[in-house]
Amino acid sequence: MLTELLSGVALAATGTLAYGARARSATLFGPSVWKGPKNRRAIAITFDDGPSESTSELLTLLADFGARCTFFQCGHHVRRLPHISQRCIAVGHEIGNHSDTHQAFYLRSPQFIYDQISRAQESIIEVTGRAPTLMRATYGVRWPGLAAAQERLGLLGVMWTTIARDWRLSAPEIVAHVEPRVEPGSILCFHDGRELLHRPDITPTIDALRTLLPKWLESGYEIVTVSNLIGKA
């Protein structure tokens, strides 16, 4: 009986851990949002893993459609390409924290998690003069210790309503995957980098957005930053 009881407790604890780590609506390991209000016809497009050498082309495309987006950037890349982070801010986008070197947080110590986030925070502030108020955990996986880091650094976690899977899909596949899943309040996750890779090819992402952006605008969507979407701007 005791063995069965302990086994049940272990399974429950494992389930709770898995939910807190991966569920997009979970706030167990820190305050987080994954969508905005549905009473406004607006969406937020986000980009992870940058900045990269390919971000400049993406910024030009977004400017063509008047889109304002949120870039979750890695400190490593911010230090490597400071002028691109500065351009993101200059043209009206928002920068969030996506850790320093894109290391996974799971199975890591609270100090490791804090060091990853705080170093990225310092780099973004130094380069742009702006302190991020949003962060996204690498791979979307939260872990014990993250809440304390968020509190110390004044960061709100951001998950997503739909992830584009643009690191492995072709442009037509990205469009087919994302388009039917968009609704008012959606937070969409794309990528303008590929983890720590230098000079990544993000052509599928750009080509997909070249198709999607005019469709969204024609259907009456505003394309805004996450902070604007959730009323924090």
User: Topology of domain 2-229, per CATH?
Assistant: TIM Barrel (3.20.20)
Per-residue pLDDT of 28-58, as tens digits, reads 989 999 999 999 999 999 999 999 999 999 9
Phi/psi of residue 177, nearest 5 degrees: -75, -45
Task: Specify the pLDDT at position 19.
Answer: 85
Rounded distance between C-alpha atoms, residue 211 and residue 22, angstroms: 30
Q: What is the pLDDT of residue 83?
A: 98
Amino acid identity for residue 137 in this structure: A
CA gap 30, 8 in Å, rounded: 26
Residue 17, helix vs strand vs coil: helix
Q: Where are the domains of the chain?
A: 2-229
Specify whether the CB–CB gap between 157 and 33 falls below 8 A: yes
Q: Which pLDDT value is given to residue 1? A: 52
pLDDT at site 16: 83
Q: Which pLDDT does position 135 carry in this prediction?
A: 98
pLDDT given for residue 20 in this prediction: 80
Q: What is the mean pLDDT of each run of 10 residues along the chain (233 residues)?
A: 44 70 91 97 98 98 98 98 98 98 96 98 98 98 97 98 98 98 98 95 98 98 98 85
What is the structure's pLDDT at 18? Answer: 86
Beta-bridge partner residues of 80: none
